[in-house]
């Protein structure tokens, strides 16, 4: 993979921040966008802006075609059986909420169990807390073993006919830990539960195959995978989606309306009420093309290499500790670090002065960060356009910052 060529496709990577070239290491929060994605937004608004599914005129036909084409690209990216299983939403958070409201309200009852893991983003915690409170169901956490990995045997022993839903992150947005989702889903198959994968940190970075994983739902956000903000995906197996009630009601989601009642439209439209986010959906399709042209396996290999390099380099900084470090088979290109004395805010502000963008704070995963006995951490996360030289810059600056704050 030729990183310097890839970098040329991303206009923002030429920016200078505080007179230093931008080093963007906040990809777990959102990715940068290649020119092709940005251009596709302008192209839509300049050349074929019109509503979808409702007109016979040329522009509407073209917009509908492009919108539906993008759905096929997303379907291919995650190897869904059919593009009707791809529902467009605003982001992963909305996707998870739809599952909670629509599937959860109908299928979860008093005394049932919902399982999530201790690694989840708030978006994959709070909707289930609310559902469980509403239904008097139990929100349970998948148990971990002494080394902080999923304890599969214990997990299996806790599953029962009362287990109704298991929602797990594919990769932690804080620690970069990969969870054994395939194995977990296999175990859950012995129960009536549906399985949900929060793939926010996996689909953008590695080959993901929903049929191979055998999950029932998968949620991810376009903006973390080179696409624009405002467009996300809820994948669902069609037999399950067909049985689910709609979540929003109005235009597009019906097939027939009388003054008294309405007939729900077919998939995926049943879940896409109102005029959708046409431009951003089309641009997400362009992002999928971009990722596929390079190849997700290549992107993943590159990120693994960067992660390994970074972890090795971090060891040279004796007072910085990586949280929840794992071997390279069990981690991706996200790592959080902590300094005993220097607060993440000071680290973040100081790195910014050198043009280096990282994330500081609780990373929308307060329980996980707090389980390390701290309230905030610094996080660097890489993507296809990052290089070893950028990791070097990060490490060099961190050691300068340490001197600065300790006054030595």
Partner 1 sequence: MSELTDFDEMYQEIVLDHYRNPRNKSKLSRDFLETKSYNPFCGDEIELQLSINDGKLEDISVTGRGCAISQSSGSLMSEVVINKSINEIKEISLIIRSLLKNEEVQEKDLDRLGDAFALEGVKKFPVRIKCALLSWAALKDLIDQY
When the beta carbons of 119 and 314 are compared against ligand PLP, the nearer one is 119
Burial code (b: 16+ CB inside 10 Å, e: under 16) for 43-66 equals: bbeeebebbbbeeeeeebebbbeb
Residues 16-75 that bind ligand PLP (CB under 6 A): 28
Element (H, E) at 165: strand 163-169
Contacts of 176 (CB under 8 A, 6+ apart): 201, 307, 326, 331, 332, 333, 334, 335, 381
Q: Any catalytic annotation for residue 200? A: no
Which residue, 206 or 350, has its beta carbon nearer to ligand PLP? 206
CA dist 12 and 191 (Å) reads: 48
Q: Answer yes or no whether residue 59 interacts with partner 1 by CB under 8 A.
A: no
* Residue 345 near which of partner 1, ligand PLP, none (CB within 5-8 Å, type-dependent): partner 1
Distances (CA, A) of 295 to 134, 205, 288, 299: 43, 10, 10, 6
Choices 47-55, 177-185, 266-274, 371-379 (CB under 8 A): range interacting with partner 1: 371-379
DSSP category for residue 47: I
Task: Give the residue with the Cβ less far from ligand PLP, 90 or 140.
Answer: 90
Q: Strand pairing partners for 194?
A: 165
State the binding partner of 133 from ligand PLP, partner 1, none, CB within 5 to 8 A by kind: none
Can you tell me which of 77, 80, 92, 287 binds ligand PLP, judged by CB under 6 A? Answer: 92
Give the nearer residue to ligand PLP in terms of CB position, either 31 or 221: 221
Contact residues for 228 (Cβ-Cβ < 8 A; gap 6+)? 33, 37, 41, 222, 279, 280, 283, 284
Q: Which option in ligand PLP, partner 1, none does residue 221 bind, with CB closer than 5 to 8 A by kind?
A: ligand PLP
Pairing of strands 86-89, 359-361: unpaired
Give least dist CB 207 to ligand PLP, A: 18
* C-alpha distances out from residue 399 to 241, 313, 317, 394, 396, Å: 52, 11, 7, 9, 5
Q: How far is the CB of 202 from partner 1 (least distance, A)?
A: 27
The site string for partner 1 over 331-370 (x = CB under 8 A, - otherwise) reads -----------xxxxx--xx--xx-----xxx--------
Interaction between residue 265 and ligand PLP (CB under 6 A)? no
Nearer to partner 1, 16 or 110 (CB): 16
Distance CA 395, CA 317 (A): 8
Q: Name the helix (H) or strand (E) containing 402.
A: helix 388-406
- Member of 200, 226, 231, 287 binding ligand PLP (CB under 6 A): 200
Which of the following is catalytic: 132, 215, 288, 364? 364
Q: Annotated catalytic sites, by residue?
A: 364
Q: Which residues bind ligand PLP (CB under 6 A)?
A: 28, 91-93, 121, 123-124, 169, 173, 198, 200-201, 221, 364
């Amino acid at each position: 993979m030729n990183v310097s060529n890839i970098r040329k496709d991303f206009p923002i990577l030429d920016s200078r921040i505080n007179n230093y070239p931008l080093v963007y290491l906040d990809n777990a929060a959102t990715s940068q966008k290649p020119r092709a994605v940005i251009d596709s937004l302008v192209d839509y608004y300049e050349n074929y802006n019109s509503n979808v599914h409702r007109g016979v005129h040329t522009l509407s036909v073209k917009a509908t075609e492009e919108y539906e084409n993008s759905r096929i690209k997303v379907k291919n990216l995650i190897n869904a059986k059919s593009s009707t299983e791809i529902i467009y939403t605003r982001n992963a958070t909305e996707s998870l909420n739809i599952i909670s409201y629509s599937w959860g309200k109908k299928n979860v009852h008093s005394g049932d169990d919902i399982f999530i893991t201790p690694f989840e983003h708030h978006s994959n915690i709070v909707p289930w807390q609310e559902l469980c409170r509403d239904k008097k169901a139990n929100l349970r956490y998948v148990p971990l073993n002494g080394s902080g990995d999923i304890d599969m045997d214990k997990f299996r022993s806790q599953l029962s006919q009362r287990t109704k839903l298991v929602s797990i992150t594919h990769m932690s947005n804080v620690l970069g830990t990969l969870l054994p989702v395939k194995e977990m889903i296999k175990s859950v198959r012995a129960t009536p539960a549906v399985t949900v994968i929060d793939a926010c940190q996996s689909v953008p970075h590695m080959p993901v195959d929903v049929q191979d994983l055998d999950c029932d739902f998968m949620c991810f956000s376009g903006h973390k995978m080179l696409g624009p903000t405002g467009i996300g995906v809820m994948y669902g197996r069609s037999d399950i989606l067909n049985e689910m009630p709609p979540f929003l009601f109005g235009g597009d989601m019906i097939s027939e309306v009388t003054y008294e009642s309405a007939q729900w439209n077919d998939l995926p439209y049943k879940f896409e009420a109102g005029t959708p986010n046409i431009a951003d959906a089309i641009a997400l399709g362009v992002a999928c093309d971009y990722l596929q042209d390079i190849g997700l396996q290549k992107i993943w290999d590159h990120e693994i290499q960067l992660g390994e390099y970074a972890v090795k380099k971090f060891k040279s900084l004796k007072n910085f500790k990586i949280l929840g470090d794992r071997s390279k088979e069990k981690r991706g290109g996200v790592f959080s670090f902590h300094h005993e004395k220097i607060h993440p805010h000071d680290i973040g502000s100081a790195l910014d002065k050198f043009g280096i963008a990282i994330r500081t704070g609780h990373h929308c995963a307060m329980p996980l960060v707090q389980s390390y006995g701290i309230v905030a951490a610094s996080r660097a996360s890489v993507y296809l356009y990052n290089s070893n030289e950028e990791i070097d810059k990060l490490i060099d600056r961190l050691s300068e910052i340490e001197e600065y704050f300790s006054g030595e």
